[in-house]
Chain A
Amino acid sequence: MTKTKRFTAALLCLFFCSGVLAGCYDNREIEDLAYVIAIGIDEAEGNSFDLTFQTAVPQAITGGGGEGTDITSYRTDNFLSGLKKAGQYLSRTINLSHTKIIVVSEAIAQKGITAFVNGLQQGLQIRQDINIIVAAQGAKKYLESIQPKLSSNPSRYYELLFKSYESDFLVPQAQLEDYLYRAKNQGAQPLAIYTTVDKNIVETKKPEGGGDDGKKEEGGEKKSGGGSGKEGGGQEQQRMSLDGLAVFKFDKMVGRLNAREASVFALMTGKNNINFDIVDPLDSRFKVLSILKKEKTSSTNITFKDGKPLISIDLIMDINVQSVQSDYDYDEPGNAGVLNRAYKELLEKEVRNLLQKVTCQFKSDIFGYGELAKRNFVTIDKWEKARWPEVFPEARYNLKLSTEVIRHGQ
């Protein structure tokens, strides 16, 4: 073969490979896809349920104006046919690769959600770090209440939302992958984020057409929509916010932890620093806000005595004071000592209450102590015979808590 022929053959091969291997057969234009950001599941009559999809509107996100998301509900008795219906309605292919949350109503959570999420996670599209949320007022209402003001990108909104809760009680165990594992196995029980109406948030909308500024905007007409005439007045809207964790036993919701309890839970089990406030021990009118950090040397050990688990928890906390409303200086050694004792007392009380609630009331090992208890068994067979979910409610705790207030300049 001459040099020219070889070169031509190589060039043709290159062009062919570049074309074919770029996957041109599989091209998928963004305009052909409907990116679902959030999925909601509500109860409906009979065996049906309402499937709500919050899909991103790419045009609005890129500054084209309009709502950044579109929310539509479909009634169906089967998740896969619900997806198909949505695709037909939107005349696009549903794409779940950017889904950030799955919201279920409390009624559905109490009946069990594995059947829904099983169908979802079979495909490779969906990511395993999706958060599962239980909405007290219903999934659709929760999704409709989401109106990102500071971000046009709904996907980014959810990412930032969860990031902002990392220092409160957001835990990875409330994600899809962990939920599915915990729902089917005995080492730990599932969790989800709980959301409800937050009466502490009141949003005010600007009144329409009101005010006599007399200023005309350039090139525009002054709108006089016959407003109410109330100056400075507006409409109040109630907002929902993440308010703790929903506790499950296998697949069914058995209770909830409020935000405070959820923060204690996150402190005990997570790696993030947690915001924790306390009544000022030197002036009960005010509060002290600190960031609590669990030291890496904290440990938990589980042994068995007379067939019952004995859980030894050794928590070592560092307290970084962030904000003090009173005039007391907690950098002073004396005051720091007082604060330290106050935090220690409070934390011990709250941890014991949480353990009591989870062990005796919910009887659900959301802490995952079963995963540690496995170390006491040699084979899987012996571990499964131990029947941890039945044995866990009889657990006894040995709690050792030590705290240290970190003073600035120390």
Chain B
Amino acid sequence: MMKTRMTFGSWEAITVLVNSIFVQVFLSFPRDMAAYGGSAGWMVSLVITVVVLIYFSISSALYENIGSLDLLDISERVGGRVLKIIVGFLITAFLFFELTAFLGGFSQVLKMISLDKSPLGFVEILFLIGIIACAYFGIEAVVRINAFLLPVVIAGFLLITAGVIPQMDINNIFPVMGEGYGSIAMGSLYKLSAYSSIIILFFMIPFFKKKYIKRVGYMSILISGFLLLWATLSFLLLYPYQIAVDNKIPVFQMAKHIEFGSFLQRIESVFVLICSISSLLYLGVVFTFILHIMQKALGLKKSKPIILPMAVISLTVSDILKRMDADMVNSKAANMIWLTGLVLPLIIIIFGACKKVGKKSAEGGGEID
């Protein structure tokens, strides 16, 4: 039987990355911006987007000498199987903690706004069923579903932010420099972690054509940057920074403001829908890539047998972290850990580019189905 190579297009890759970055808007991203920058919180989101654009331009320039290899392939060519396994473990651990942190975060959000009588474990299991299904269907299916559903999510989000335009007050973004240059710079450093999911791009490269690397990267960063900026700006224009920092779920609170006459009220249900879809897609993608990386790093023939044990472990770790009251999403320590998603790939790419690993092998390395 002829084996087919799994591929997907640049648009699918872009939607996966955009969702991975944009999904944080549904947690507390706008509030964190207000906490760091005050009335100038929108500047923090702008600064981090610019920094990540520079980061990606360096990475993509270095990728000229690498071709269509992913980070594990580069590590193998640089340091042999040992380095491949070490890098595989590091990235798996990073993505795993991202998964457990956000699994807890999204479950709590959904519990607060919709399923408030349900036990938290029940909500987490709902998410878990979703991500297990994503893992069973495989990377290609998950990525294609992203391409299909993300425009719906973004449309819902833009509807909510557009609905509060009449209540925005330009005075809320004054004083113009907010908490000052120092706070904005510090906040930008911590919140670079918002783009930590860009590590997934470096594992998607073998699935689409090499010539699309720059297009996928730049488009993803620009689209998600615009969405993060607009989310923060609309939030700060609606709420003065003093009460913005107290808002639990910013976009949900914005949705509660929408009221046009007697018929268009209580639009919060739109938020519940788009938040659920986006978070499920994001967790599904991360989980699927964890399994893909593990399979590749360990040289396993199949990844399906480890889906269930990994799901059980992620659920348990998520609950243990909650018990310890460890804030793995918003705390400064967590933000520094998330920077691994940006720093580690860059180090590997630099080594790979120096050794010109891409010149040794043929193009492509996507999973064979």
Contacts and interface: CB of A to CB of B under 8 A. Distances in A.
Does chain A touch chain B in the assembled complex, meaning CB atoms less than 8 Å apart?
yes
Interface of A: 13, 20-21, 23, 25-26, 28, 124, 127-129, 177, 180-181, 184-185, 187, 371-372, 374-375, 377-383
Contacts of A377: 174-175
A20 B115 CA distance: 11
Contacts of A28: 117
A365 to B, nearest CB: 13
A95 to B, nearest CB: 12
Contacts of B169: 371
B171 A374 contact: yes
SS class, residues of chain A in contact with chain B: helix
Contacts of B39: 380
20 contacts: A25-B117, A124-B113, A124-B248, A124-B252, A127-B256, A128-B257, A371-B174, A372-B171, A374-B174, A375-B174, A375-B175, A375-B176, A378-B175, A378-B177, A379-B180, A380-B178, A380-B179, A381-B180, A382-B175, A383-B175
Contacts of B117: 25-26, 28
A28 B116 CA distance: 11
Interface string B121-144: 010001000000100000000000
The 5 closest A-B pairs by CB, nearest first: A374-B174, A371-B171, A26-B117, A377-B175, A379-B180
Nearest to B112: A124
Contacts of B174: 371, 374-375, 377
A383 B171 CA distance: 13
Interface residues of B, number: 32
B134 to A, nearest CB: 13
B118 interface: yes
Interface string B241-260: 11100001100110011010
Contacts of A383: 175
Given A25-B117, A26-B117, A181-B243, A380 B175 contact: yes
A128 B118 contact: no
B25 to A, nearest CB: 18
B30 interface: no
A379 B177 CA distance: 5
Interface in B161-179: 169, 171, 174-179
Interface in B149-171: 169, 171
A185 B240 CA distance: 10
A383 B39 CA distance: 12
Contact of B242 (A20, A128, A185, A378): A185
B240 A379 contact: no
A177 B259 CA distance: 15
B38 interface: yes
Which of A25, A378, A379 counts the most chain B CB atoms within 10 A? A379
Contacts of A184: 242
B284 to A, nearest CB: 15
